[in-house]
C-alpha cells in the first residue's frame, strides 16, 4: 500500500517551524508590541530619560535628522534640528553664515542655540557635524542629555551628502578627501558619545529600532552582581 505524504496540517506546521526564525526577526523590525504586562520599550526609555534630551551626533550624512524625527515620533517627544534652529535665529542659511561671518562665529552661535534647546528638554535633538567637537558643548550635552553617535562608513556618507547642496565644508575640489579628513579628525571625539549606533543603508525604521534598543540597554538598571 503506497505511503501517504504528511497531512496538510502537518505540512503547515513544518512550514511554520521553518519560517519561525525569519518571522521572529521580522517582528523586531515591525515594532512588535510589548508582551502583556511588559512595559513598552518607549515607555521605559521615557521614564529613564526624565528631563534629559537625546542628542544625535555624527558627520553630515549620518542620518541624524531623518532618524531623529522618527525616533521622536516613537518616543512621543518633540524633535529639533540644531541647524534649522540656527538658521531661524540668524535669519540666514548656514552656507550664508559661513560665507559672511566665518566658521568661528557660526560655532559660537551653534553653541548658544544647543544650550538653549537642551534647557528646554526633553526632546530629540539632531546636531551639526562639528557641534560635538567643542569641549563646552560636549560638557553641556553630558549634563543635560544622552549622546548617541550615528556612525556611518565613508561610502554611505558620500552617497547621502551628494543628494544635498548645503554642505559648505564640502565645497572643495575633492569632497571625498575632505570627508576623509573630517572623519579622521572627528571620530576620536565622537567616540566620547555615550552610545554608538551604526547608520547603514537599511530602512530608517531599522536604525531607529537599533537606537531604541541601545538606549534601553544603556538607560536600564545596572546588572546585579552574582552573590
Every domain of the chain and the residues it spans: 44-219
For domain 44-219, give the fold.
Answer: Rossmann fold (3.40.50)
Q: Is 93 annotated as a binding residue?
A: no
Q: Which long-range contacts does 96-105 make (Cβ < 8 Å, 24+ apart)?
A: 98/168, 99/168, 103/130
Q: Is 186 annotated as a binding residue?
A: yes
Q: Is 61 annotated as a binding residue?
A: yes
Kindly state the cell numbers that stand for 18: 521553518
Cα–Cα distance, 166 to 214 (Å, whole number): 31
Range with the poorest average pLDDT among 84-93, 117-126, 162-171 = 162-171
| Interval 131-155 mean pLDDT | 96
What is the number of H-type helices and E-type strands within the chain? 10, 5
DSSP 128: -
Q: Is 102 annotated as a binding residue?
A: no
| b/e sequence 106-134, b meaning 16+ C-beta within 10 Å | bbebbbebbeebbeebbbbbbbbbbbbeb
Cis amide leading into 160 (omega within 30): no
Give me the percent of the chain exceeding a pLDDT of 70: 76
Instruction: State how far the alpha carbon of 138 is from the alpha carbons of 30, 44, 85, 149, in Å.
Output: 34, 25, 18, 12
Q: Is 109 annotated as a binding residue?
A: no
| Interval 155-162 mean pLDDT | 87
Q: Is 68 annotated as a binding residue?
A: no
Chain Cα centroid distance, residue 201:
13
Residues in the chain: 227
Pairing mode of beta strands 145-151, 195-198? parallel
Q: What is the pTM of this model?
A: 0.80
pLDDT of 67-110, one tens digit each? 999 999 999 999 999 999 999 999 999 889 989 999 899 999 99
Q: What's the pLDDT at 174? A: 81
Q: Is 225 annotated as a binding residue?
A: no
Indicate whether 166 pLDDT > 90. no
Indicate whether 168 pLDDT > 80. no
Q: What's the pLDDT at 18? A: 43
With cut-offs at 50, 70 and 90, classify the pLDDT of residue 162. confident
Q: Is 63 annotated as a binding residue?
A: yes
Q: Is 201 annotated as a binding residue?
A: no
Amino acid at each position: 500500500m503506497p505511503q501517504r505524504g504528511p497531512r496538510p496540517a502537518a505540512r503547515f506546521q513544518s512550514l511554520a517551524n521553518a519560517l519561525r526564525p525569519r518571522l521572529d526577526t521580522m517582528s523586531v523590525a515591525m515594532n512588535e508590541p510589548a508582551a502583556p504586562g511588559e512595559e513598552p520599550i518607549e515607555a521605559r526609555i521615557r521614564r529613564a530619560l526624565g528631563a534629559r534630551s537625546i542628542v544625535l551626533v555624527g558627520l553630515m550624512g549620518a542620518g541624524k535628522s531623518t532618524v531623529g524625527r522618527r525616533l521622536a515620533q516613537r518616543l512621543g517627544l518633540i524633535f529639533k534640528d540644531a541647524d534649522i534652529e540656527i538658521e531661524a535665529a540668524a535669519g540666514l542659511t548656514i552656507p550664508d553664515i559661513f560665507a559672511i561671518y566665518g566658521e568661528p562665529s557660526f560655532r559660537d552661535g551653534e553653541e548658544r542655540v544647543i544650550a538653549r534647546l537642551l534647557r528646554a528638554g526633553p526632546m530629540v535633538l539632531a546636531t551639526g557635524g562639528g557641534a560635538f567637537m567643542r569641549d563646552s558643548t560636549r560638557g553641556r550635552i553630558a549634563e543635560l542629555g544622552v549622546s548617541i553617535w550615528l556612525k556611518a562608513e565613508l561610502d554611505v556618507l558620500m552617497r547621502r551628502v551628494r543628494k544635498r547642496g548645503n554642505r559648505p565644508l564640502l565645497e572643495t575640489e575633492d569632497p571625498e578627501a575632505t570627508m576623509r579628513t573630517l572623519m579622521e579628525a572627528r571620530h576620536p571625539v565622537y567616540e566620547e558619545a555615550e552610545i554608538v549606533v551604526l547608520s547603514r543603508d537599511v530602512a530608517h525604521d531599522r536604525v531607529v529600532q537599533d537606537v531604541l534598543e541601545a538606549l534601553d540597554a544603556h538607560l536600564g538598571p545596572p546588572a546585579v552582581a552574582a552573590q
